[in-house]
Structure 1
Amino acid sequence: MTAATTRPDAGSGTRATARGGLANMAGSVLAGGTGVAVTWIVARALGPEEAGAFFAATAAFVLVGGLAKLGTNTGLVYWPARLRATGQDRLLGACLRAGIPPVVVFSLILAVVMWLAAPWIAQLTAHETPHVVAHHTAGLRVLAVFVPLQALTDVLLTVTRGYRSMRPTVLLDRVLRSGLQLLAVGAAGVAAMWASATLPVFALAWAVPYLPVVVLAGFAARRAYTAGRVSQQVHPGERRRLRRDFWVFTAPRAVAAVAQLALQRVDVLLVAALSGLAPAAVYAVAGRFVVLIQFANQGLSQSVQPRLAEALSTGDTAGAKRLYQTATGWLVLVTWPICLLVMAFAPWYLRLFGERYATGVPVVLVLAAAMLVATGCGMVDMVLAMAGRTSANLGNVLVALVVTVGLDVLLIPRWGALGAAVGLAGAMVVNNLLPLAQVHHSTRLHPFGPGTRTAALLALACFGPVIYSPAAAVLAVPAYAAGAWLLRERLTLRAFIPRRTS
């Protein structure tokens, strides 16, 4: 069978991406919304210092969990897609056995390390008062217990995405886990009305949903593997070669994934360490919308990822370009209005978290402008990885990390939360423009197709004036919806309409 015969139909690939991407983005919006609600509850129930400690503790938890996954969130999508596209389905079981057990072992080791290092981390980031240090230490240790569950949940859901199934990720991670987190943290917030609220209680409420979700993710991964299993003998030499190739590809991505998470989370820790927990809380609240947009990007990327890997592995550059440009157009269509509305309404919505958080308006403006650049480049980081350039991907992320840490150390002592925002914005620009140049040079792919250009111009025309006159949002929303409908062909929105069957 030639490579050409394995290529999927263009229309069906776009429609499948649209369906998976829409479901994933809807789930991501829900997860982002519940995340904002959780942030509001914590900011209201805890004082600024303890709220800052909570955000610093969860940032450390996410960083450790990202390290524990060893880059398998890329490897366990790329390799199953590649094996299927090249007719080597018999090696899928060996691929999973190469990736999952090391994550389990390493996550247990890191959980112990985080438990033991909790007093040092707390002292570094919560040095204001002894009782905050004590609560911060306890919260970090509560979260340390759940590190293996977090890592295993993400890896098992990655397995299902490697089999082109987006539903488990949407239902279990985006809907169930996020919903349970909101309910548990909300219950802790209600209890705080009658008793003193402490950080460890909120940390437990935030982390405990990983327990039921990891069990359900295990069932989903097993079902996907069983449905696609090929009963064919695999030679031991093939398993060894696959294990070696898997980790040669995945190892650079493991470091890059941690550096990528550090770009998103280390700034909260640095603000806490260099400027105090109260500014860290302001920064975390003001930058929460960034996580919402990153969820949308991630949701669409996870739907595109296996199909893009298959297209690139079979030499279908035209199909890969079409997927990349179409998905970027959809991403811009969804996220640019959010960025522009956030810029316009920041002085009002930040006050919902408390008057002290209104000082975060400059943080919002800087980060929203950077997000316009980042989303305009699409999921370029993932495209570079799916093209097999994981070493280049690692180099880019490390350069961006140096930029953000360098700017943070220089600016946070002077500007506080705004200094961290400038550092993160600089890293976003670097971490998108560098891989954009590399992707175009190596594969001639770029995200600036008709859909991307149309979505960007439409968003700027409708929502740009809202920045100067927030009341214009009343007209901007219906105008945007009408424009999207009239331009649906250029935006490839028909892919979201189910195909009629005779």
Structure 2
Amino acid sequence: MARGGLAGIAGAGAAGASGVLVAWLVARVLGAEGAGAFFAATAGFVLAGAVAKLGTQTGLVYWVARLRAQDRGHLLGACLRIGLTPVTAASTALALVLWFAAPTPLDWLALFLPLATLSDTMLAATRGYAMIRPTVLLERICRPAMQLAAVAGLAVAGVRSPGAYAVAWVAPYIPVALLAGYALRGAYQSGSTKRAGHRAMSALRAQFWRFTGPRALASVAQQALQRVDVLLVASLGGLAAAATYAVAGRFVVLGQFANQGITQSVQPRLAEALARNERDTANALYQTATGWLVLLTWPLYLLVSTYAPVYLGLFGPEYAAGGPVVVVLASAMLVATGCGMVDVVLSMAGRTRWNLANVTAALAAMVALDLVLIPHFGAVGAAAGLAVAVLINNIAPLVQVGRSVGLHPFGTGTMVASGLAVGCFGVLPHAVAATAGTGPAALIGALAAAILLYAYGAYRLRGVLALDALRAKR
């Protein structure tokens, strides 16, 4: 898990950096209005993809890992067909609807929807085989790098069309989808290729969709939590406000990538442990992963909250009004990451209906608050709505996982990681600001001291934080 998690984190760092640079280029080149159109179109595309995937990403990881753990490899081919065939049909149908009904530039993005959804779904299936490398290489490194190169090429050429930037952003899904299919084919052929009988396939189909059905709705709601607020700000507050909100919250994407990098390594092993009813192993996985997540993300959230004006200044003076948005979102994400990958734990324990109820409640609360707050407070109102939704979507499943499965994220590693992060990146920068001010020299000094102390503390506490596992021999 440590090796896979480290690879996922490295890939997450590359993807996060590429994503921030894409946002920076778009914000600087297109201005607030054009950037708002770009962010709204890409948000709509991602939300459409969540609908078309039908929740099969979680379903394929869960069932492929479960079938392998239970020595039922002869059903793996049937499982893949059960998951991939409906996704192909749904993504094609939705692409046709968007092509004829969606505004520009979302209608052009619709042409790429089937390949994008199949790419993500096939990579999820490879993770069910405990293969993290295809996801890291293709989804975390290759695709973001190609997106950055394409967007940078347009910027250098002096292109000013939001539609051109949106197409450049989505085009890399074509080669990635082809390579994802090749990786999944290799994973499948490495095991049993025996075809399941009709009766066995029918039974598996019923079980697969009984598990995946609620997750399909939950995945749409989950993506809506991350994307629909941008669309609401664009429609209720204007494209400039939407660009400010998207830019101010871009750091959240970095944290989400780190979360995904760890989760994608832990998820299949967690599914296998729970399938064998090994609760102690599952709890150890959950707590260790949460400690690593806190260790990685809390410094980011604490720093952007403390130095919000500096962070926003990187994108241009027209985004300076997003300071309160940064503080609100960073505070919510500190709580969310402290709960760990709690929604994944709930799903891998088979409680997908509970997961659906939690995400639906969070989405309803966010939309209701956005409709009330955005007309009066703009981007800050949207941030408040998202913060409330994030708290609901993490605290509710935290209670459910503890009571129904007996798991919780608050191990010694989690406590040590949170204390170390708060001391180095919360208390220290504020102390330096209070004594030496907030000028460039004080900022650089505070960051250097925080990073050195944090690295030293992590090294000295590497046993408690389970970082020694990174050096373990195979």
- TM-score, normalised to structure 1, is 0.91
Q: Determine which of 157, 162, 171 is the counterpart of 1:208.
A: 171
Q: Which residue of 1 aligns with 2:32?
A: 48
AA aligned to 1:442 is: S
Q: Which residue of 2 aligns with 1:108?
A: 92
CA deviation vs aligned residue, 1:128-187 (integer Å, no higher than 9, x gap): xxxxxxxxx1x1111111111110100110111110000000001111000000000000
AA aligned to 1:180 is: M
Counterparts of 1:426-445 in structure 2, within 5 Å, are: 426-445=388-407
Q: Which residue of 1 aligns with 2:192?
A: 229
**SS of equivalent to 1:234:** coil
AA aligned to 1:54 is: F
Q: Which residue of 1 aligns with 2:149?
A: 183
**SS of equivalent to 2:102:** helix
Q: Which residue of 2 aligns with 1:477?
A: 451
Q: Which residue of 2 aligns with 1:370?
A: 332
Shift of 1:476: 1.1
Q: Which residue of 2 aligns with 1:95?
A: 79
Q: Are the aligned partners of 1:403 and 1:426 in contact in 2 as well (CA < 8 Å)? A: yes
Shift of 1:467: 4.8
Q: Are the aligned partners of 1:412 and 1:420 in contact in 2 as well (CA < 8 Å)? A: yes
Q: What CA distance in whole angstroms lies between the structure 1 residues aligned with 2:180 and 2:161? A: 31
Q: Determine which of 293, 301, 326 is the counterpart of 1:339.
A: 301
**SS of equivalent to 1:228:** coil
Q: Are the aligned partners of 2:128 and 2:268 in contact in 1 as well (CA < 8 Å)? A: yes
Q: Are the aligned partners of 1:53 and 1:277 in contact in 2 as well (CA < 8 Å)? A: yes
Counterparts of 1:452-467 in structure 2, within 5 Å, are: 452-467=414-429
AA aligned to 2:92 is: L
Shift of 1:466: 4.5
Q: Are the aligned partners of 1:344 and 1:466 in contact in 2 as well (CA < 8 Å)? A: no
**SS of equivalent to 2:307:** helix
Q: What CA distance in whole angstroms lies between the structure 1 residues aligned with 2:304 and 2:57? A: 30
**SS of equivalent to 1:274:** helix
1:275 aligns with 2:275: no
AA aligned to 1:173 is: E
Q: Which residue of 1 aligns with 2:140?
A: 174
Q: Which residue of 2 aligns with 1:7?
A: none
CA deviation vs aligned residue, 1:441-499 (integer Å, no higher than 9, x gap): 10110000010001001111111124522442221111111111111111011011141
Q: Are the aligned partners of 2:429 and 2:447 in contact in 1 as well (CA < 8 Å)? A: no
Q: Which residue of 2 aligns with 1:353?
A: 315
Q: Are the aligned partners of 1:367 and 1:421 in contact in 2 as well (CA < 8 Å)? A: yes
Q: Are the aligned partners of 1:343 and 1:467 in contact in 2 as well (CA < 8 Å)? A: no
Q: What CA distance in whole angstroms lies between the structure 2 residues aligned with 1:310 and 1:498? A: 21
1:495 aligns with 2:469: yes
CA deviation vs aligned residue, 1:209-258 (integer Å, no higher than 9, x gap): 01111111110010011012253x63211110001110111010000000
Q: What CA distance in whole angstroms lies between the structure 1 residues aligned with 2:312 and 2:197? A: 60
Q: What CA distance in whole angstroms lies between the structure 1 residues aligned with 2:65 and 2:314? A: 45
AA aligned to 2:148 is: L
> Runs in 1 of length 4+ with deviation above 6 angstroms?
none
CA deviation vs aligned residue, 1:44-64 (integer Å, no higher than 9, x gap): 111211110100000000000
Q: What CA distance in whole angstroms lies between the structure 2 residues aligned with 1:146 and 1:160? A: 22
Shift of 1:107: 0.1
CA deviation vs aligned residue, 1:329-373 (integer Å, no higher than 9, x gap): 000001001111111222012112110111111100000010100
1:197 aligns with 2:181: no
1:34 aligns with 2:18: yes
Q: What CA distance in whole angstroms lies between the structure 2 residues aligned with 1:116 and 1:410? A: 32
**SS of equivalent to 1:46:** helix
Q: Are the aligned partners of 1:27 and 1:170 in contact in 2 as well (CA < 8 Å)? A: yes
Q: Determine which of 446, 454, 469 is the counterpart of 2:408.
A: 446
Q: Which residue of 2 aligns with 1:400?
A: 362
Q: What CA distance in whole angstroms lies between the structure 1 residues aligned with 2:453 and 2:165? A: 42
AA aligned to 1:204 is: V
Structure 1 unmatched runs, 5+: 1-16, 120-136
Q: Are the aligned partners of 1:412 and 1:418 in contact in 2 as well (CA < 8 Å)? A: yes
AA aligned to 2:294 is: V
Q: What CA distance in whole angstroms lies between the structure 1 residues aligned with 2:281 and 2:389? A: 30
CA deviation vs aligned residue, 1:18-45 (integer Å, no higher than 9, x gap): 1111101110111011000000111111
Counterparts of 1:411-426 in structure 2, within 5 Å, are: 411-426=373-388
CA deviation vs aligned residue, 1:78-124 (integer Å, no higher than 9, x gap): 001111111211111110010001000100011111122213xxxxx
- Report the more deviating stretch, 336-345 or 183-192: 336-345
Q: What CA distance in whole angstroms lies between the structure 2 residues aligned with 1:490 and 1:58? A: 41
Q: What CA distance in whole angstroms lies between the structure 1 residues aligned with 2:95 and 2:196? A: 35
Q: Are the aligned partners of 2:328 and 2:384 in contact in 1 as well (CA < 8 Å)? A: yes
**What percent identity do the matched residue pairs reach?**
59
Q: Determine which of 8, 30, 36 is the counterpart of 1:24.
A: 8
Q: Are the aligned partners of 1:328 and 1:376 in contact in 2 as well (CA < 8 Å)? A: yes
Q: Are the aligned partners of 1:341 and 1:466 in contact in 2 as well (CA < 8 Å)? A: no
Q: Which residue of 2 aligns with 1:161?
A: 127
Q: Which residue of 1 aligns with 2:436?
A: none
Q: How many residues align?
A: 462
AA aligned to 2:165 is: F
Q: What CA distance in whole angstroms lies between the structure 1 residues aligned with 2:16 and 2:371? A: 29
AA aligned to 2:239 is: L
RMSD: 1.0
**SS of equivalent to 1:353:** coil
Q: Which residue of 2 aligns with 1:57?
A: 41
